[in-house]
Structure 1
Amino acid sequence: MPLCSAAFADPAKLGSSASLDVFGSPVRCPPGVCLLRHVSGEWRQPISVPVVTSSGKKTVEVTTKGIQKDEKRRMSQILRTEAAIGSVQRKAGFSRSGRLWPKAVLEALSQSIEQDQWESALRIFGLLRIQHWYTPKCQTYVQLFRMLGRSKLPGQASELFRLMLSEGLKPTVDVYTSLMGVYGLSGRLDEAFRVLDEMKTVCECKPDVYAYTLLINCCSKSHRFDLINKLLTEMSYLGFDCSIVTYNTIIDGYGKMGKLELMEDLLMDMLEGGKCLPDIYTMNSFLWAYGNAGQIEKMETWYQEFQVMGIEPDLTTFNILIKSYGKSAIYEKIELVLEFMKRRFFSPEIVTYNIIIEIFGKAGNIQQMEYFFDVMKKQGMKPNCITYTSLITGYSKAGRLDKFGTILRQINNSNVVLDTTFFNSIISAYGRAGELKAMKQMFGEMKRRKCQPDDITFASMVQAYDARGMIEAAKELEIEAIRIQRRSTGRRLLT
């Protein structure tokens, strides 16, 4: 059922606690959910919330002054932490001292792991191991394995596992599971299954539901659904019931592969079994799958079906709907979703605006792209790297390279951390336009910011040089690309 004009109806006419669903149907809202104020046509978070105490006096629970103090305190803490991390990282590179302060080293290691700075984390771990107070712990290795899994570095994980065994530690279930995740997420499923088989031979380390679910997720990401059936059969034999996480993992995998019928069959199994009922993650996977496939009517039908099941949308749901409508060029429904979000007191987040900016940028609608970028900033949201990448892509598509300078000035006046995708976008745009000097400058800026160039970076630049007959410059870049690749693959950080 398509969106209709009823979605613009005044919710006040339906009663104080009523609103409309995204397709125009009345939906009851729980009382007391209004936490936003309507100011100049925009819904904003109030800067203070009045609270009535038992004595009847009104107090202010949150004030702007209190927020400022909290922000200053938080910023001071961040700066102290970063200074400590920098100090420990320098000592990790140049010092062999075994008498460093435990808190500084452990905090620096934890922070590096959380930020997926795997090179720093492994260097700091090497420094940790030579401290006189160091005691090997499996949990430390688990955290490192999980970080290496997110970074897809199976080689470093194998080396780390050998190091753990050399320290006399016996692997636990968590160690084996996290190691299996590194191999699986890196696409090395044979080694992941080898770890699973090894777990089965150790009495205290039998694989559990979480281990199987993790491996199912890895198989799903590698599009090896034949292996998923094998794992499900094995789980059934061992007496493990699939959890909702297991079902959602498989459904999400089917959806991303476009296997929509298998996705629906699995949902029917869930409903018939009655033990694991669908939740918001199930719903969002369905909507994403049909929206990505361009089956908008089917997506809207499933949205209503899940509401009948009692599952209410969240902010991710609305982001999926907006992205789906944008991909299908149904731009008027994006406005309907945003209006509906206002009525349900959902405030768009940075992800929402990034999606909208990307949609209009790719469509070449610079006016709408800039409008939502301005709205985002007026609501106090700071643009991030994804925002600026989408702006660069949009201006490039519209042939407005003159706008790049404004964006770069905004970035220089902010604390935004740029990534490889951003530099690839702007380097590619300058290359296609024949602005080789600007392209080379951005490549230098990329290296200055210690942002690693990848195959796309070099391919874009080589293509730009080749198109203008600059064969020598193209060859130099190809040699540099090979040199960087060899240096990256040959690096060993653990000693």
Structure 2
Amino acid sequence: MLETNQNPMAAAAAASLSTTTPGVPLFPPLISTRRTASTRVQVSPRTDSEPSSSPSSTALTVVDERTRRIARELDELKRREAKERKELRDRKVASQKAVSVILWREATKAVIDKSGRKKKGPINSKKLLPRTVLEALHERVAALRWESALKVFAFDKVQSLLSDMANHGIKPNTVTYNTLIDAFGKARKFSEMESILVEMLADRDCQPDAWTMNSTLRAFGNIGQIETMEKCYEKFQTAGIQPNVQTFNILLDSYGKAEEYKKMSAVMEYMQRYHYSWTIVTFNIMIDAFGKAGDLKQMEYLFRLMRSERIKPSCVTLCSLVRAYAHAGKPEKIGGVLRFVENSDVLLDTVFFNCLVDAYGRLRCLAEMKAVPEMMKQSGCKPDIITYRTMIKAYSFNGMDSHAKEIRELLPTVTRPSLKRDKPDF
């Protein structure tokens, strides 16, 4: 018979169980305190007052326990073997699927590259793996290869691509939408970009993030639509999307191109006030902007601040300094940049030396310009077609036709740069 002075919490839990699972007994059935000899193993030491069990009973008990233990071990072994067989079978199936997907992607990329070389126009995206199309598109957009991107992906077939992804069981996620928004923005297809953004907002499982905001702001900022960019920034903030350092770098770059230096200063103050650390990209954008504006004092202050913050200048930083000093007509300042390079471990590239050749050519420092190819060899760089064409232009402008002819004869020995950039890649 159960005792009446039970724990109140236990009683409450039992009542809850009885209400949620009808048919289940409130407590397990009472078990008799008497145990049979076949299920009991004597483990306590014997005393003189305790009756001793018979030898035959003890032997039966031991044999029964061993039999159950062996049965349990066999069951466990069978379950383990079945699990291993299932895992092996799953691995084989997964390997076959992985190999087929890899072969499909490699074949797709081969088709893309082959079609791009033959210039046969856009590729039928329905015959390609959707994820492969997005990967190829992202690679070409990131490298600013717009013509190649258009051949890989027909922008007017976005809905068809999304349908193909759904047929393959691939649901568009935030990365998918961000890739398309970034591609449309850089291709200046703003109506399509807005359409993808609206579709993204309608999908409850894919919410915009900081990358979405940055791609949208960059698209409008690069073409000088500052008001539209600012409205988009306000809408994203209202939606609860917080900006990051890259967001502020995009704002700084856009304001610098539009010569909105007061707004640039406001962004700089905001970053300092709310403890957003300036990166090398931040400094490069500001140094280039103030250098193009002819504000050498502010530019040099930012360069000193950059060094005091222990941020190592890059070739982009040095190109901005050299270009600004050339436009200001200060060749002695360019010499100071070269002395800084000699005392630092900055790795120089061909882009920097081409910028140096152009600066000396503008300043009519032709002797210094002539020495640049030798400096390139000492730094492990090779002159390219831009180097020689810049030197030819400078010699021809100053009436030094014989020097221009010598450099022109070197043109067949160099190759064109693999990627054309209209500006430094920040």
TM-score range, shorter chain: 0.5 to 0.7
The secondary structure found in structure 1 opposite 2:154 is: helix
Choose which of 132, 135, 138 in structure 2 pairs with 1:211.
Answer: 132
- In structure 2, the gaps of 5 or more residues are 1-97, 419-426
CA distance in 2, matches of 1:190, 1:243: 33
Provide Cα deviations, 1:306-332, integer angstroms capped at 9, x if missing partner.
112221111100101111111111111
CA distance in 2, matches of 1:186, 1:407: 45
The secondary structure found in structure 2 opposite 1:258 is: coil
Give the C-alpha shift of residue 234 in structure 1. 4.3
Specify the code of the residue in structure 1 equivalent to 2:135: L
Residues 78-117 of structure 1 correspond to what in structure 2 (within 5 A)? none
Give the C-alpha shift of residue 241 in structure 1. 3.0
1:388 aligns to 2:318 (yes or no):
yes
Residue in 2 aligned with 1:442? 372
CA distance in 2, matches of 1:411, 1:187: 45
C-alpha spacing 1:405/1:396, structure 2 compared with 1 (3 Å) = same
Specify the code of the residue in structure 1 equivalent to 2:254: S
Residue in 2 aligned with 1:286? 216
Q: TM-score, normalised by structure 2?
A: 0.65
The secondary structure found in structure 1 opposite 2:347 is: coil
The secondary structure found in structure 1 opposite 2:410 is: helix
CA distance in 1, matches of 2:400, 2:104: 52
Residues 81-160 of structure 1 correspond to what in structure 2 (within 5 A)? none
Specify the code of the residue in structure 2 equivalent to 1:295: Q
Specify the code of the residue in structure 1 equivalent to 2:156: N
Count, aligned residues: 311
1:250 aligns to 2:152 (yes or no):
no
1:376 aligns to 2:306 (yes or no):
yes
Residue in 1 aligned with 2:43? none
The secondary structure found in structure 2 opposite 1:485 is: coil
Specify the code of the residue in structure 1 equivalent to 2:277: S
1:352 aligns to 2:352 (yes or no):
no
Residues 194-209 of structure 1 correspond to what in structure 2 (within 5 A)? 208-209=129-130
Residue in 2 aligned with 1:460? 390
1:236 aligns to 2:236 (yes or no):
no
Contact 2:357 2:369 in 1 (8 A): yes
Specify the code of the residue in structure 1 equivalent to 2:182: D
1:481 aligns to 2:411 (yes or no):
yes
Q: TM-score, normalised by structure 1?
A: 0.57
CA distance in 2, matches of 1:431, 1:334: 32
Provide Cα deviations, 1:374-425, integer angstroms capped at 9, x if missing partner.
1111112121211111100111111111101111011011111111111111
C-alpha spacing 1:421/1:451, structure 2 compared with 1 (3 Å) = same
Provide Cα deviations, 1:186-212, integer angstroms capped at 9, x if missing partner.
993769999999x97xxxxxx654312
Specify the code of the residue in structure 2 equivalent to 1:251: I
CA distance in 2, matches of 1:319, 1:369: 17
Choose which of 146, 151, 155 in structure 2 pairs with 1:222.
Answer: 146
C-alpha spacing 1:180/1:373, structure 2 compared with 1 (3 Å) = farther
CA distance in 1, matches of 2:103, 2:302: 46
CA distance in 2, matches of 1:390, 1:279: 32
Residues 289-308 of structure 1 correspond to what in structure 2 (within 5 A)? 289-308=219-238
Report sequence identity in percent.
39
Contact 2:123 2:154 in 1 (8 A): no
Contact 1:357 1:387 in 2 (8 A): yes
Specify the code of the residue in structure 2 equivalent to 1:227: A
- In structure 1, the gaps of 5 or more residues are 1-169, 201-206, 489-495
CA distance in 1, matches of 2:247, 2:215: 9
Specify the code of the residue in structure 1 equivalent to 2:364: G
Specify the code of the residue in structure 2 equivalent to 1:292: N
Specify the code of the residue in structure 2 equivalent to 1:222: W
Contact 2:178 2:212 in 1 (8 A): yes
Residue in 2 aligned with 1:469? 399
CA distance in 2, matches of 1:178, 1:417: 35
Residue in 1 aligned with 2:260? 330
Contact 1:357 1:373 in 2 (8 A): yes
C-alpha spacing 1:449/1:171, structure 2 compared with 1 (3 Å) = farther
Give the C-alpha shift of residue 447 in structure 1. 2.4
Give the C-alpha shift of residue 444 in structure 1. 1.3
The secondary structure found in structure 2 opposite 1:418 is: coil
Give the C-alpha shift of residue 359 in structure 1. 0.3
C-alpha spacing 1:194/1:338, structure 2 compared with 1 (3 Å) = closer
Give the C-alpha shift of residue 232 in structure 1. 4.8
Give the C-alpha shift of residue 470 in structure 1. 2.4
C-alpha spacing 1:317/1:175, structure 2 compared with 1 (3 Å) = farther
Contact 1:180 1:193 in 2 (8 A): no
Q: Which has the larger radius of gyration?
A: 2
Residue in 1 aligned with 2:357? 427
Contact 1:219 1:227 in 2 (8 A): no
Provide Cα deviations, 1:359-381, integer angstroms capped at 9, x if missing partner.
01111111110111111111121
C-alpha spacing 1:213/1:288, structure 2 compared with 1 (3 Å) = same
Contact 2:174 2:206 in 1 (8 A): yes
CA distance in 2, matches of 1:331, 1:310: 28
Specify the code of the residue in structure 2 equivalent to 1:437: A
CA distance in 1, matches of 2:264, 2:326: 23
CA distance in 2, matches of 1:180, 1:413: 49
Residue in 2 aligned with 1:309? 239
Give the C-alpha shift of residue 334 in structure 1. 1.5
C-alpha spacing 1:449/1:342, structure 2 compared with 1 (3 Å) = same
C-alpha spacing 1:427/1:196, structure 2 compared with 1 (3 Å) = same
- RMSD over aligned CA atoms reads 3.2
CA distance in 2, matches of 1:178, 1:365: 52
Contact 1:184 1:192 in 2 (8 A): no
Residue in 2 aligned with 1:188? 116
Residue in 1 aligned with 2:83? none
Contact 1:189 1:219 in 2 (8 A): no
1:277 aligns to 2:207 (yes or no):
yes
Give the C-alpha shift of residue 185 in structure 1. 8.7
CA distance in 2, matches of 1:185, 1:252: 22
Residue in 2 aligned with 1:400? 330
Contact 2:360 2:369 in 1 (8 A): yes
